[in-house]
Amino acid sequence: MATKEDILEQIVEEYLIHKGYFVQHNLKFLPRKDHPDFIVNADSNHSDIDVLGYHPLKTGPDKIMAVSCKSWQKGFNPASYLDKVKNDKKISGKVAWKSFRELTRPKWSEAFSEAVFKATGERSFTYVLAVSHCKGDKSVWENEPSFQKALQGNPIKVLAFAEMVREISDDLGTTLASSEIGRLLQMFKAAKIEFDIT
């Protein structure tokens, strides 16, 4: 791995590669300057797609995985965050919607989708929110009508760290893994270190 991303990003990368995706990190996007709602002071700092996965053999929204990583130590409570986003509440001193501008502000939604298109040539994709831990029903986030509208009907998926680690680990054999993360998981298995990944 050429760069040292956040560990959640590394796990996302390993998970996607494990499933046959090619990956790219930190794909920057910004609203277009001629957008009627563009505000120079508010919209001049890039946001980025943390991990973008492209699968050459899949079709439809499964072909592209556009992943936003939130490695919050307290985990992610979909219902609570949805309430905060919809009601302009703050999380750690920051207005909640700003962590999800691509889901909540049309100019940012458009920029996000355009960044995916420029990188892949595809308009269809799956938006993935990768989190450290999910506390509660994912479907309230995944099925939120305003988010689905923002992403032009493209599906939304919440994916927890433990789900990814479990799937990667279950499929690892004894042949030396090709990545640092894969090798680390193999070492845990070889050392008989077990975690309750639930």
Q: With helix as H, strand as E and coil as C, how does the chain read?
A: CCCCCCHHHHHHHHHHHHCCCEEEEEEEECCCCCCCCCCHHHHCCCEEEEEEEECCCCCHHHHEEEEEEECCCCCECHHHHHHHHHCCCEECCEEHHHHHHHHHCHHHHHHHHHHHHHHHCCCCCEEEEEECCECCCCHHHHCCHHHHHHCCCCCEEEEEHHHHHHHHHHCCCCCCCCCHHHHHHHHHHHCCCCCCCC
Enter the pTM of the model: 0.87
pLDDT at 186: 75
Computed over every residue of the chain, the mean pLDDT equals 87
pLDDT at 63: 98
For residue range 63-104, list pLDDT tens digits in order: 999 999 999 989 999 999 999 999 999 887 888 988 999 999
| Per-residue pLDDT band at 3 (split at 50, 70, 90) | very low
Higher pLDDT, 88 or 5: 88
Sheet with 126-131: strands ordered across: 22-29, 47-54, 64-70, 126-131, 156-160
Least confident of 11-20, 146-155, 173-182: 173-182
pLDDT at 167: 85
| Neighbouring-strand partners of residue 126 | 65
- In CATH terms, the fold of domain 7-171 is Restriction Endonuclease (3.40.91)
For residue range 113-165, list pLDDT tens digits in order: 999 999 999 999 999 999 999 999 999 999 999 999 999 999 999 999 989 98
pLDDT more than 90, % of the chain: 60
Higher pLDDT, 194 or 72: 72
